[in-house]
Copies of this chain bind each other. A is one copy, B any other.
Amino acid sequence: MKQSQLFTKTRKTAPKDEMSKNAQLLIRAGFMHKEMAGVYSFLPLGLRVLNNVVNIIRQEMNGIGGQEISLASLQKKETWEKTNRWSDGEVDVWFKTKLKNQTELGLAFTHEEALTVLMTNFVSSHKDLPFSAYQFQTKFRNETRAKSGIMRTREFIMKDLYSFTKTQEEHNIFYEKAKEAYEKIFQKMNIGEKTFVTFASGGTFSKYSHEFQTICDAGEDIIYVSKEKNIAINQEVFTDEVCSDLGVDKKECVEQKSAEVGNIFSLGTKFSDAHSLTFRDAQGKDVPVVMGSYGIGPARVMGVVAELLSDEKGLVWPESISPFHAHLISLKNDEKAQEIYEKLKKKGVETLFDDRDVAPGAKFADADLIGCPWRVVVSDRSLEAGGVEVKNRKKEESEIVSVTDLYEKIGK
């Protein structure tokens, strides 16, 4: 895309009320707009990153057999009363609203209840199981404080997958597959090394749930990392008992600030019991379905990447989720640059072409702030030296590459 046509512009300073680094950078680079505390809109560059994150997650969810759906946000009281999750005393993040006839509705903060009710239409026999369904859908959460940029918001897309299985054993097999898929997802976004499977409270559902916690100063959680076992334990359950249960030496665990980028829950039959989601087993007996739920917030992941992989000049996107693969900059060599732009497009290299009539310094600063992996500069000097000047966003030095070799140099 031509930058002259992009309606967003970068800005030198972040809004004064924005305390988090991820939002400061994303707003300065024109990726997002703040509607109010904890509520952001996605602008063209930001939406491209978000969609890339979504597509990585989608690929892995399809890989484990997930079927994509999209549930409604508006929710009936009755659906949630059965699991005791309607009252604001029990769930303190509800946004509630009303129909014209004064019927109270809620805006879904998660979808276990709604999907369990839905599945009673489709599950009756043991032959209908196992399966899983997932969505990328807007969740609303009435957070009291929202000050971590896009890492904790009041309205956000969540990927939530739900599994439906016949037995605990069958559930465990799927649960492990999901865990592996999650690990792949975070690896693909270059935060795999800093992300730990973290033992957390299983709530009323099971002994433990598993969080995926990424070590990050801007995170709101505290975890204790066992390098030896390559796992972590959430502060809330970091006890002698749990450490011994997991075979971890408590004294060797390192305390870290972290951000929860995903979580997976064994739900047992809590929701299927409440909503009578049962199946007839091979012996003709009605048995409740064993469920699991598996969440990732794509925007939070995007925020964590912005926090961790940025530098003093701006954002530094991994190739897998960058808004564009290459940032092509023309320094008064528009014709040659246009030619290269067309060539890259033809090869399928997503390119942001800075064809604007602004000073070279401003173009370089924007390229650093926006953070695409490859900067390609076309100038008199580069052409005299034999081609274009190519620089990887993570490196200091640049090199001259002939136009012929450009694709080989930067192409995926």
Provide the A26-63 mask, 1 if CB < 8 A to any CB of B, else 0. Answer: 00001001011001111110010010000000000000
Decide if A76 touches B41 in the complex (CB within 8 Å): no
Copies in the complex: 2
Interface residues of A (CB under 8 A from B): 5-9, 11, 30, 33, 35-36, 39-44, 47, 50, 65, 67-76, 95-100, 105, 107, 114, 118-119, 121-123, 128, 131, 133, 138, 140, 142, 144, 154-155, 164
Q: With A and B bound together, what is the CA distance between A164 and B5 in angstroms?
A: 13
Minimum CB–CB distance for A285 against chain B, Å: 21
Out of B5, B43, B70, B142, name the residue touching A100 (CB < 8 Å): B142
Q: How far is the CB of A37 from chain B (nearest CB, A)?
A: 9
Closest residue of chain B to A41 (Cβ to Cβ) is: B71
Contact A97 B97 (CB under 8 A): yes
Does A121 lie within 8 Å of B33, measured CB to CB?
A: yes
B68 contacts A36, C-beta separation under 8 Å: no
In the assembled complex, the Cα of A7 lies from the Cα of B68 at a distance in Å of 11
Q: Judging by beta carbons under 8 Å apart, are B47 and A68 in contact?
A: yes
Instruction: Give Cα A114 to B33, complex, Å.
Output: 11
- 7 A-B pairs besides A7-B133, A30-B122, A100-B144 with CB distance below 8 A are A7-B119, A41-B118, A44-B133, A72-B155, A96-B97, A96-B98, A138-B138
A346 to chain B, nearest CB (A): 18
| CB-defined A-B contacts under 8 Å, sample of 29 | A7-B67, A7-B123, A7-B128, A7-B133, A8-B122, A9-B122, A33-B118, A35-B72, A35-B74, A35-B76, A36-B74, A39-B72, A40-B72, A41-B69, A41-B70, A42-B69, A44-B67, A44-B68, A44-B69, A72-B155, A73-B138, A73-B155, A74-B154, A74-B155, A96-B98, A99-B142, A99-B154, A107-B107, A138-B138
